[in-house]
Amino acid sequence: MAITETATLVARNTPPHVNRRIETATHRSIEYFRTHRDEIDERLQELDREWDIERLLETNASALMLLGLGLGIGVDRRFLALPVVVSGFLLQHAIQGWCPPVAVLRRMGVRTHREIEDERNALLKLGGEMTGIH
């Protein structure tokens, strides 16, 4: 599998209507800043703080695995099933670009790194047009 394929795995494994909804929200944001260019810097700062789907998935998975280990060691061994399931989801995501939590997060509008960078690049171009820098 090529690196370019890896960069698009999540989007390729997301239902088209969900991708369209995310793309539409991004395009609306860009269109808004065409007429509100003085707010572009603030939006760029927001984009710097936005968590992409990989970061959110990894953070949630780590937290759930630690919780399952703690509960499994301290409360009941059956809780050890939680880190097993979560690590299986992470493996599935690494191989296929999809797992059940990704489907939920995408429907919530969580974007990939590439999608965030696409908005950033469009806003930088708009800001450059305003100052004459391209």
The 10s digit of each residue's pLDDT in 81-125 is 999 999 999 999 988 888 999 999 999 999 999 999 999 999 999
In this structure, how many other beta carbons lie within 10 angstroms of the beta carbon of residue 96?
13
Pairwise CA distance, residues 72 & 79, whole Å: 4
Instruction: Give the closest residue to 57 by CA, choosing from 118, 113, 119.
Output: 113
Q: Can you read off the two tokens belonging to residue 43?
A: 């939006």
**pTM of structure:** 0.86
